[in-house]
Every structure is written in structure tokens, then in C-alpha cells.
Amino acid sequence: MNLLSKVLRDPQRIRDWGVQEWNHFLPLMRRARLLGRCLRLFEEHGLIVEVPQRIQDQMRGALAQTLYVQGQALRELRQVHKVLAREHIPVMALKGVAYLVAELPPSGWRNLADIDLMVPKKDVEQAEDALLSAGWQPSGDFDDYDRHYYREWMHEVPPLKHSMREIEVDLHHNLAPPVSRIRIEADALWETARSVTAVKGGELWVLAPTDLLLHNAVHLFMNDELRGGLRDVVDFCDLYRHFVAEQPGFDEQLLLRARELNCGRPLYYAAITGQRLAGLVLSDEFLRALRPYAPSFPLASLMHGLIERVLAPERLGMTSTAIANWLLFVRSHWVRMPFGMLIRHLSYKALVSKKPATLDADLPG
């Protein structure tokens, strides 16, 4: 367990910290994109006076950036919504931007790089066309294989970006890829969705509370390389605490819904990981009810070990992280794709590996 994880479980421990601990802590927090969350955590526990000014400056800087990007995300959402409302296509906000429009706890600290939206599957092509003709463009370079991969095998179209703005729009039509072994039927999600009042002219939807949590779990554990990282685990914990406090019987609803949507396994992983790595408190009844969704013993402990090494590595850039990451990457594709498709995909990606995009161009100096 790394230092960040230990602090999330027990923030009081920073009272005894010296320079060495803070120097270890800052890069972990930055890499996990949790500077804003830790600032809130220390504030909530009256610990801010224990945090050195220099570290506070870094945390406040990150939070200022987050609040700015949140504003941009909302503006982008309104623009997209306006275009799609004209086409009478219902829009659902997902993940970060959903927490924002529904004013849920992660919105107090959570950064976002893009906005994730869902439209009904039958409307997805029309929605993409409408956005393309209203000034959005495919963001980044996609070769034919990538485009094919997105459209045919995934649950989204390639990311779009408006030519005049910074923020990316990811348009989904389902919460898990249609080819994966764990399926969430989008129709069931639309049935229980709730409308929020964040935009004018036409409704904007977010998932029901139970589904917000299940989506987080599916996204975190069904995705390549646990991409959202510890940040998504903390999202889960913040949402879970909020709904449990707000709605009596929430645990039962959540379990019921997990069974309905066939997401017991991801819910199990998310809840247990939240408990292990971020100090989420789960009731004994809830833990007992989750047990049937746990994998068999040797696999469960292997997975918990892998998850911990990827989400909470002792130091940044450790080999064991890379290896654990790789295994999870393969596993997540195994979950997502039928076997033959997996072999084809991995061999294509191994042959055509891409360089990261360079960022120097815009730099001062």
C-alpha cells in the first residue's frame, strides 16, 4: 500500500510527517490526479494547518485549474446539448461531467479531460453527424483500423473536438462495449435515468444513483490498464458515501441493480478496492452480500495484488507496476473481447505501436 492510499484511509497520520514524507507524497498525489481531493480531505478533517505552505500552494494551484476546466466542460456540454436537442436526441451526461451537473461530491475536486456523453444507440450516427456539421471534428489521428475498432467493437465513436475549443467529447451508446462478456443494456439505464436542470431547453439526463456507481465500477475494472486509476476509486467512495447517507436502503438497491445489470463482479472489485485503498467503510451485511460475486480464492488474491500495484504503487515508475499493468491490460481485453478478436487486436497493436504525441510546440521559452 502506498503513502497516498494510507492517507486516504487515515488522514490524521500527516500530523507526524516531515519533509521526507511530503516529498514522497506530492508526486503520488499529482500522478493520481488527487491534489484537489487531498486538499478537501485535509480541510474536512481540520488538518490544513499541518500541511506545509509549499504543498498547499501546489494543491490550490491544481484545484484552480480543475475549477476552470469544469467550467469549460459545462460550457461544452451546453453547446453539444443545444445541437442534439435540435435533433430531438436525448443526451445523458456520464462520469465527471455527470457528477458536475448533478452536483455530486466529486464535483468539488475532480478534474476532467473530456466530457463523456451517452445517446441512444439508434441515434448515435445522427448525433455524430449533427456534431460534425456543427463544427466538431474527429480529435487526433485515427487510422482506418482505429475507426473500425471504435465503431464496430466499442461502445463509442472516436472522440470529437470543436475546432474553436479545447475539450474533447466522447459520445457513447452503451456503458460497456457490445462485444464484451459483461454487458449493460443501455435501455435499462435510460428507463431509470434522472433529469437534471443544468441546461436550458430540453432535458439532460444522468444515470440513477445505483447506476452511477455501477458505471464507475465497470469503467474502472473493464477498461484498459485501470485507466482512471485511484481517482476513479475515490469517485466511487465519494458517491457511495453520499448516497448511503442520503437514501436509506441504498445498499440493497445497489446489490439488486448489480444483479439486474449483471455487474456483480465489477461492483465487488470496486467496493473492496475502495475499502482496501481508500478506507471506504462497508457494512458487514453489504460485504456478505458481495461475497458471491468474488472470484475464486487464488484469483481474488492475485487480482487484489495486481490492482494494488497498479493503483497504489509504492514509487512511480516501478517495473512491477508495468508488469501488473500489462496483465490487467490483457485481462481487460479478455473481458471485453471474444478470444479470437483479442488475438487479432493484440497482434495488430503489437505490430503498429504508436509514439506519444509531442507537446513541446506550445511551450513558453
Partner 1 sequence: MPPVNVFDKPQPDSLILRSGPFNVAVDAEDQRFLDTLSYFYREAVSDTASTLIDYRIRIRRPFSHRRWIRPQTLLEVDGIQPFEPHPLENAFPMYEWGLNWCIATSAHRYMMLHAGTVAFGDEALILPGTPGSGKSTLSAALHLRGARLLSDEFGLMRPEKGDLLAMPRGIPLKNASIEAILEFDPAASLGPTYPKTRKGRVRHLRPDASSLAQQDRPARPRWLVFPKYQSDAQEELRPLDKGEAFRHMAFNCFNYKLLGEVAFRAVADMIGTVECFTFTFSRLDRATERLTELVRQ
Q: At closest approach, how far in Å is the CB of 167 from partner 1?
A: 13
Q: At closest approach, how far in Å is the CB of 188 from partner 1?
A: 33
CB 214 within 8 A of CB 263: yes
How many residues lie near partner 1 (CB under 8 A)?
Answer: 42
Minimal CA–CA distance to 239: which of 44, 100, 59? 100
232: buried, middle or exposed (CB in 10 Å: 19+, 13-18, 0-12)?
A: buried
Residue nearer to partner 1 on the CB measure, 150 or 190: 150
Residue nearer to partner 1 on the CB measure, 163 or 353: 353
Q: At closest approach, how far in Å is the CB of 317 from partner 1?
A: 4
Residue nearer to partner 1 on the CB measure, 25 or 269: 25
Task: Answer yes or no whether residue 222 interacts with partner 1 by CB under 8 A.
Answer: no
Stretch that binds partner 1, among 38-46, 55-63, 115-123, 176-184 (CB under 8 A): 55-63
Q: At closest approach, how far in Å is the CB of 305 from partner 1?
A: 16
Residue nearer to partner 1 on the CB measure, 5 or 174: 5
What would the DSSP string read from start to end of 143-187?
Answer: -HHHHHIIIIISSBPPPEEETT---EEEEESSSS-TTSSS---HH
Residue nearer to partner 1 on the CB measure, 22 or 286: 22
Site string for partner 1, 7-26 (x = CB under 8 A): -----------xx--xx--x
CB 109 within 8 A of CB 36: yes
Residue nearer to partner 1 on the CB measure, 278 or 306: 306
Single-letter code of the amino acid located at 353? S
- Among 10, 43, 44, 57, indicate the residue that binds partner 1 (CB under 8 A): 57
Rounded to an integer, what distance in angstroms lies between the CA atom of residue 35 and that of residue 55?
A: 9
Residue nearer to partner 1 on the CB measure, 191 or 360: 360
Q: At closest approach, how far in Å is the CB of 323 from partner 1?
A: 8
Question: Please, which of residues 305-334 interact with partner 1 by CB under 8 A?
Answer: 315-322, 325-326, 329
Q: At closest approach, how far in Å is the CB of 67 from partner 1?
A: 8
Strand partners, 168: 114, 161
302: Cα separation from own chain's centroid: 23
Task: Answer yes or no whether residue 27 interacts with partner 1 by CB under 8 A.
Answer: yes
What would the DSSP string read from start to end of 56-94?
Answer: HHHHHHHHHHHHHHHHHHHHHHHHHHHHHHHTT--EEEE
Question: For 1-30, b where at least 16 C-beta lie within 10 A, e where not — what string?
Answer: ebbbbbbbeebeebeebeeeebeebbebbe
Residue located via cell numbers 439532460 = 204
Rounded to an integer, what distance in angstroms lies between the CA atom of residue 292 and that of residue 268?
A: 9
Residue nearer to partner 1 on the CB measure, 30 or 242: 30
Dihedral sign, CA of 120, 126, 129, 130?
negative
CB 81 within 8 A of CB 204: yes
Q: At closest approach, how far in Å is the CB of 39 from partner 1?
A: 12
- Binding footprint of partner 1 on the chain (CB under 8 A): 18-19, 22-23, 26-27, 30-31, 52, 54-55, 57-58, 60-62, 64-65, 68, 225, 315-322, 325-326, 329, 349, 353, 355-356, 358-361, 363-365
